[in-house]
Amino acid sequence: MRTALDRQVNGAVRRRLFREQTTGIYVSYFDVKLSPQLVYHYTVAGSHGLNVPLVYAMQRIQLDTYLEHATVTASGGSVAIGMPSGITLALHGLNAGNLQGAQGVIAASGVSLIRPGTGSFDLSGQFKVGYTMSQGVPQIQSFSGRVDGFDAASLWSIDSGLISAKIGNVRVHATGELEMDENGGVAGTLHDIGVSTSTGYVHGTISGDFTLPAMNLFHGGQVPWMPGVVDAVHLGYADGSHVEMTGLAAAVGDIARLAPLALLNDTASNGGDDTFILDIAGNLSSYALIVMTGAGDDRLTLTGGFRADAQLGDGNDRATVLAGAHHIDGGAGIDTVVVAGNRAGYDLQMLATRHVTARADGTRASLEQVERVQFADGAVALDIDGNAGQAYRLYNAALGRAPDQAGLGFWIGALDHGGTLLGVADGFMRSDEFMSKFGGSVSDAAFITKLYEHVLHRQPDTGGYRYWSDALDAGTARSQLLVDFSESAENKALLIGAVRDGIAYEPFG
């Protein structure tokens, strides 16, 4: 027999295998839009308080100890037992005639408890109900069986002080594999958990595998923590806000206290080519939302005016900034930040270890380990020690001039897609423009001299000339000399002023 733990572990293994098999393609999807009010609940308040009405209701719904004054009503395949406290216990899917014996066990496919003005819950599955008859009234001795699903709701009035006019009462329903012992204790695994409110404030589902350790549904008590793994979140709000998250494998300590925004920085779950679309109101200037995209080639869009601390991790990531003031750390890979508007509308400069781009409307991005910035009318490369800087210097060294943006974009693209600097140098040396400057078949001595003149803008010193002459005599290719001159400390110092605040180029392809 498979236990709840078996099901949870096996489910986690299936998710892990799926993610391993789909590495390098789209895996997870996040689409979050939050109004100012929802931002407050998700950040400052920490939750909506949705669980409060339901928890209080569950604690106050329990079977009476003495049922001498209970009333029994039978209708079709159901029996309702009205208790002195006002709670009604109903058994469904049974033959009422089975209650005529002095004692026994009857089978039921549904059990429900309702306390008007407080709450209710309904269980579906296969149950065994032990009873004895006392003065024509069944005394419930035991409950046991299998629970396939449950539906719980609070039924408080507005003047109870336990619900708000905005949220109202809360209903939760779920499917799962739960076992009930003879005392009504329930434990097992829950899957799709749905939530809604009587006012329409929120509705949606949270899917995954969640462990219910133990809870007695018939005698009140505390609702236990329910740890597990979230696969998907679908929540919609009356004001148009929404939280859509799919393709997850995020471990949580308690699903009843889930903070969906925390899933945005679960790098263990966010390991594929993930997509993040975040439209979040910017009414909390002191709060920065942490977003950690993890490995993979991720796509991130930021708007709504909020502040994000985005850590893009490994991979060639792309972040689009439409509004707000954000800090973006690209991590490893070739990372691009896309901003709205033309280059002239932004101030882009290097401050300490960060590039900062800003415009008058307050849209701002502080960039670390970000290689490219894309504007509406072109792009700027910030990796002056990486592919873009190498392509710029080699272009200048080979042709003796600043690169044109289209040509530079072509060679940057070649390096980004796995090309080598030596291969790019070979390409330059076969060009007509290079031939016109260096000559088609010059001697080694002339070639070395021209490198000094065109790249370093000076005549060769004796020691340097001898070093490069010996290298050519030993079989070093001329294209390697071109690369070595281009990447020399002397040439980098000559060109640092031209590249310090980024290199303009036109992306190829």
Asked if 43 and 283 touch (Cβ cutoff 8 Å), the reply is no
Residue 116 CA, chain-centre distance (Å), reads 41
User: Distance (Å, rounded) from C-alpha 394 to C-alpha 482?
Assistant: 8
User: Rounded to whole angstroms, what are the CA distances from 362 to 63, 257, 304, 305?
Assistant: 60, 35, 12, 9
299-303 vs 228-237, strand pairing mode: unpaired
User: Rounded to whole angstroms, what are the CA distances from 269 to 192, 263, 292?
Assistant: 19, 8, 10
User: Distance (Å, rounded) from C-alpha 221 to C-alpha 212?
Assistant: 14
Residue 246 CA, chain-centre distance (Å), reads 9
Is the pLDDT score of 18 beyond 60?
Answer: no
Is the pLDDT score of 474 beyond 50?
Answer: yes
Asked if 355 and 380 touch (Cβ cutoff 8 Å), the reply is no
Model pLDDT, residue 2: 33
Model pLDDT, residue 221: 59
Is the pLDDT score of 24 beyond 60?
Answer: no
% of the chain with per-residue pLDDT over 90:
55
Task: Compare 212 and 51 and report the one with higher pLDDT.
Answer: 212
What's the burial of 485, exposed, middle or buried (CB within 10 Å: 0-12/13-18/19+)?
buried
pLDDT per position as a tens digit, 214-254: 887 776 656 778 899 999 999 999 999 999 999 998 899 88
Asked if 296 and 314 touch (Cβ cutoff 8 Å), the reply is yes
Pick from 234, 150, 240, 164: nearest CA to 197: 164
User: Distance (Å, rounded) from C-alpha 352 to C-alpha 389?
Assistant: 18
DSSP three-state, residue 175:
strand
Model pLDDT, residue 457: 96
User: Rounded to whole angstroms, what are the CA distances from 341 to 23, 176, 337, 503?
Assistant: 34, 50, 13, 18
Q: Which amino acid, 493?
A: A
Pick from 334, 367, 370, 363: nearest CA to 352: 367
Task: Compare 224 and 206 and report the one with higher pLDDT.
Answer: 206
User: Distance (Å, rounded) from C-alpha 111 to C-alpha 309?
Assistant: 49
Domain ranges of the chain: 1-46+229-382, 50-224, 387-505
Report how far apart the first and last C-alpha atoms of the chain are (Å, whole number): 57
User: Distance (Å, rounded) from C-alpha 219 to C-alpha 365?
Assistant: 55
% of the chain with per-residue pLDDT over 70:
88
pLDDT per position as a tens digit, 338-365: 998 899 888 888 887 778 788 878 788 8
**Domain 387-505, CATH among 2.60.40, 1.10.3130, 3.30.230, 1.10.260:** 1.10.3130
For residue 81, name the pLDDT band (cuts at 50, 70, 90). confident
For residue 68, name the pLDDT band (cuts at 50, 70, 90). low
